[in-house]
Homo-oligomer: A and B are copies of this chain.
Amino acid sequence: MSSAAAKVALIGAGRMGRVHGLSAAANQRLHLAWLAEPRSDAAAALAAELGCRTASLADVLADPEVRGVIVAASTDAHLDLTLQALRAGKAVFCEKPLDLDPARLKAHAAELAAPAAPLLVAFNRRFDPHFRALKAKIDAGAIGALETLNIVSHDPAPPPPGFVATSGGLFRDFTIHDFDTAAWLMDEAPSEVFAFAECLVDPTIGAAGDVDTARLVLRFPSGRLCTISNTRRSGYGYDQRIEAYGAKGAAMAGNPRLSTVVAASRAGARADAIHPGFASRYLPSYRAEMEHFADVLAGEAAPAAGYAESIAALALAEAALRSLASGASEAVAA
């Protein structure tokens, strides 16, 4: 890292803690100094891998040299940790969601909407190079006025037992990325949503009160439309695609493959597999997102997404849940 690197700390040594910690450690403009995690074994192991030291949350927040905090603890702790860090004057990179409960977020609207330090909520699709290339093409007018979107977002395999209970459900946990992506690409907040959703894949998901297969349709105030296809189990890898249709043509962003190798036999020509999961599929987006946080810390960029985007995406998830119950399209709460 360069001598001017910004000192940052990581909170959380779980799956996403490791993902964001590796991005921070690899970033030449950040100096990942501290890892705060109550489970000392997990803390020690990840700190060794990241080449940083462990510390208590209190010590991290008390360190005047720490400029940014990466919040990657369990979802239910995101909001409190973010508020504590902001109050300590630290810029925050918070893994999504900021919180699963819009009411809880709104209770802190003043602190979150105009935060004392920059607040970046990690909607990582916005940093994926393929989706950014798609947006650049749209913004450059390559397909004329954007009219409709078809988003496919398919998980490779169902989450482990127990995940569903704390996840907030398919719409708040998984579709929320697609909600944010739709608004980001359309540059407009959807006004109505309709959802069909079922449990077709894994009965334990249904038993936990959730769904695993969904088709949603969004309507925007401009009359433009968007479909979202979700499943918790694709059977063929982590499928993340977007089709954008405009007045002059269309543009699609597809899945990078593990290699360019194609094997030809009498049965056809088989291209290599797509990525097996989010960690490798979105590695470039996680790296770019952390680079954006470095920009934010350097005063070179405003956070790409924060409180407003979090509230907006949650409002879509809430409307989708209401639609499931009512069987009708539901207006998205302002």
Contact = CB atoms under 8 A, between A and B. Distances in A.
5 contacts: A198-B223, A215-B217, A229-B245, A234-B245, A236-B264
A263 B235 contact: no
A130 to B, nearest CB: 5
A261 B253 contact: yes
A243 B207 CA distance: 29
B266 A148 contact: no
Contacts of A272: 133, 268
A148 B213 contact: yes
Interface in A123-172: 129-130, 133-134, 137, 142-144, 147-148, 150, 152, 154
A143 B263 contact: yes
Interface stretch (A79-87, A107-115, A323-331): A323-331
Number of copies: 4
A106 interface: no
A51 interface: yes
Interface string A189-209: 000101010111100000000
Contacts of A273: 266-269
Interface string A311-334: 000000000000000111100000
A179 to B, nearest CB: 16
Interface residues of A, number: 80
Most buried by B among A130, A233, A260: A260
Contact of A147 (B142, B144, B219, B231): B231
A55 to B, nearest CB: 19
A271 to B, nearest CB: 5
A236 B245 CA distance: 10
A301 interface: no
Interface string A225-250: 11101010111110100010111111
Contacts of A217: 194, 196, 215-217, 227
